[in-house]
Amino acid sequence: MSPRLMLSSCLALWISFCAVTLAEDWLTRAQNLMKTTPLIDGHNDLPWQLRKHFNNQLNNVDLNTLNITHTNIPKVRKGQIGAQFWAAYVPCDTQYKDAVRQTLEQIDVVHRMCSKYPETFQFATSSKDIEEAFKSNKVASLIGVEGGHSIDSSLGTLRTMYHLGARYMTLTHSCNTPWADNWRVDTGADPPENNGLSAFGKKLIKEMNRLGMLIDLAHVPVTVMNQVLDISEAPVIFSHSSAYTVCPHKRNVPDDVLNRVNETGGIVMVNFYNDYVTCSQTARLSDVADHFDHIKKVAGAGIIGFGGDYDGVTRVPEGLEDVSKYPNLVAELLRRGWTDEEVKAALGNNLLRVMREVENVRDRMSTTSPDDSPIPYDDVKNPCRTSYGYTDSGAARSLSTLTLLLVTAFQALMTLID
């Protein structure tokens, strides 16, 4: 080998060695940051996979060895996840049928996950719970109801799910509800039915504020995004959405809304689904980091979080194949010049801040009575819904009117007789 060729080979090996060493340094730095600040992921659909594959029979599955999903306990541990919002999701075709029952079953399976694996999962409902679980080296496990169709247009059902531990609700999924339009309206695939939010939908926003329930705008059209940002007294979340300017998919968030989220103290938790990352079927980890960079550039590092959507999507980027890969993305942000404080904000501090403010709004509204006004019956009338309460109230009003007429007629008759 000639001296020149030998020198070139040595230089190439040295560059390769340096690159590997630097990558390891970024990863070590990322892992160390994740030991001090919990990575809080906004959306994981493992409960739906448990429904699909096992009909929620946890006795028939071991989350330590499950290998058909993006998520299992070893992967969660390797990914250093500090807190996870587990999605209580049921499809849109359950609307007007058994959506409430099926959603309750998804809430139940999250509770049972925590009971079956107490060494790993700790059920959580507050910012304080997340911090305490993290100190105990457990994954704080929260519930997000994914889709307003799950409450069957009932504020009472919303409250019940909150009392069972649900801490956010995605206002719509991929279908309109009787009180809110969904994101597909912006694509033209679905017709608008509510001009965004109906009057009842606006009441629901206020009731979520009163409860202390995070409002999730991940699946709504831009009209609803802006209406909620106008109405809500508490900051909002996008639990699993990315930047529209980077990938112009209607599930993503446009720049003007990013700025409004910043102004109102909310958070956008970046989705890893290839179709929302690159608007194509393929993507890489660096493409996801581009969304983080863009959101930071437009609205600051203070509104960014992680919302992988693992086990709810069919395609994830190269380098982010499952939940174990989170440290690699954190390392990429550090490599791109993100400061430790910016990374810690995105990991979990932003979401903790949002939760605390939502809890503060709840506490300020503690003397406000629950809204018990039902949605107008004509808005929800269908063959699978009864009209109890509505019909009885109408009958009572009719009876009262009839009684008044009879009394008036009797008084008039007595006057004639006299």
In the block, tokens 């190269």 appear at: 318
The answer to whether the CB of 88 falls within 8 A of the CB of 146 is yes
Is residue 363 annotated as a catalytic residue, yes or no? no
The answer to whether the CB of 278 falls within 8 A of the CB of 298 is no
d(CA 235, CA 216): 10
Is residue 45 annotated as a catalytic residue, yes or no? yes
In the block, tokens 């080998």 appear at: 1
**Catalytic pick among 70, 173, 249, 291:** 173
**Catalytic pick among 146, 152, 311, 322:** 146
For residue 175, give the nearest of 157, 155, 194, 158 by alpha carbon. Answer: 194
The answer to whether the CB of 305 falls within 8 A of the CB of 43 is no
Is residue 294 annotated as a catalytic residue, yes or no? no
d(CA 316, CA 320): 6
Is residue 291 annotated as a catalytic residue, yes or no? no
**Catalytic pick among 129, 207, 309, 322:** 309
**Catalytic pick among 129, 152, 181, 219:** 219
Name 83's bridge partners. 40, 140
d(CA 274, CA 180): 27
* DSSP, res 92: G
For residue 143, give the nearest of 130, 124, 158 by alpha carbon. Answer: 124
In the block, tokens 């457990």 appear at: 138
d(CA 390, CA 234): 32
d(CA 234, CA 266): 8
**Catalytic pick among 43, 249, 291, 294:** 43
**Catalytic pick among 149, 207, 216, 240:** 240
The answer to whether the CB of 385 falls within 8 A of the CB of 377 is no
Catalytic residues: 43, 45, 146, 173, 219, 240, 309
